[in-house]
Amino acid sequence: MDYARFVRLRLPVWERFAAQLAAPAKTMTHADLEALALGYRQVLHDHALSAARYPGTAAAERLRGLAVEGTRRLVAGRAEGPAGIAVFFSRTFPRAFRRQLGLTGIALALFLLAALWGLAITSLRPGLGITFLGPKAVAGLEEGRMWTDSLVSAVPPALSSSRIATNNLSVALGAWSGGVLAGLVPLYIVLLNGLLLGSILGVTLHYSMAGELLEFIAAHGPLEISLILVSAGAGLGIGRSLVIAGDRPRAAALRDATRDALAVLLGCLPWFVVLAVVEVFVSPSPDLPAPFKVAIGLSLEAIFLTLATVPGRSPDTQP
């Protein structure tokens, strides 16, 4: 789709969402909040698309502003000031996260299966590494060099962090918003990322560089994989509500699934910023010892999971 057609088709959605944001929060009904959440999901999807295909355009900048304002309204809109954010991260997000645990477990199982498959095929056929890494990266491995050595050195760290955060967020948004296609997109993203990780590990094993790869991903890899899987689990929840509504009206099942999925996504958003900073300043640094990177990675993962599963009211209680 060309840029002009993209703007022409999606502009009414952006205008409607901007009008919803302009409405006073105190006058909004439950129906208005549901409509706002739906518009927010559409804007996030368009923002990820514009950032990937039309970066730097007026549409991309406007969508970024709408996404930021939508996040602020939805996260803090249930109570004013810092108290609203505290309630969200201490109650709403953990309850939604726990309700999605089964689907996140399915995403994890599929990810591990795909990773094992990728590891197996590249261990048996190392030549496939060119398909996954490209000839330049494989040539570097043959010379004992990792392609990650110059991953962020060519651009300023701030710009690198922004690019990495945008890329990671785009993957997570794709897994989340793709749930509307009966959950097929989240499944694809989980399987693809698992296959890529396993395949790259298999190639580096062949060239005796697996240790360097694991050292590079030790600080950011656990959290990055978790965020993708959690977002995919939320997307699977949306897909499940469309395919298997049970004895409930499909619209009601979709509404509840979308509410939980939105809460999970909003709870993950701040971690993408943390992840980008670690991936720029910690992961590629040759001056930091491997045990320190491992400690950073495990600590970030432990903090995220602790906050996501913090004890509160019953997870079956609606936020």
Which one-letter amino acid corresponds to residue 128? L
Q: Of 41-50, 231-240, 276-285, which range is least confident?
A: 41-50
Position 168 pLDDT exceeds 70? no
pLDDT of residue 317: 43
- In 10 A of CB 123, how many CB atoms? 16
pLDDT of residue 285: 83
Alpha helices (H) along the chain:
3-22, 30-53, 58-76, 81-87, 93-99, 101-124, 129-133, 135-142, 157-177, 184-206, 210-217, 221-243, 250-281, 290-308
Nearest CA-CA partner of 67 in 277, 266, 267, 268: 266
Nearest CA-CA partner of 127 in 213, 199, 56, 45: 199
Greater confidence (313 vs 234) lies with 234
pLDDT in tens, 121-133: 988 887 777 777 7
Q: What are phi and psi of 125, to 5 degrees?
A: -130, 80
CA separation for the pair 36, 15 (Å, rounded) = 12
Residue 182's pLDDT band (cuts 50, 70, 90) = low
Cβ burial 6-24 (10 Å sphere, 16+ → b, else e): bbeebeebbeebbebbeee
Parse the chain into domains and list their residue ranges.
3-77, 98-308
CA separation for the pair 289, 145 (Å, rounded) = 18
pLDDT in tens, 57-103: 888 888 878 877 776 676 554 444 455 677 778 888 898 899 889 99
Is the pTM higher than 0.75? The answer reads no
CA separation for the pair 53, 237 (Å, rounded) = 28
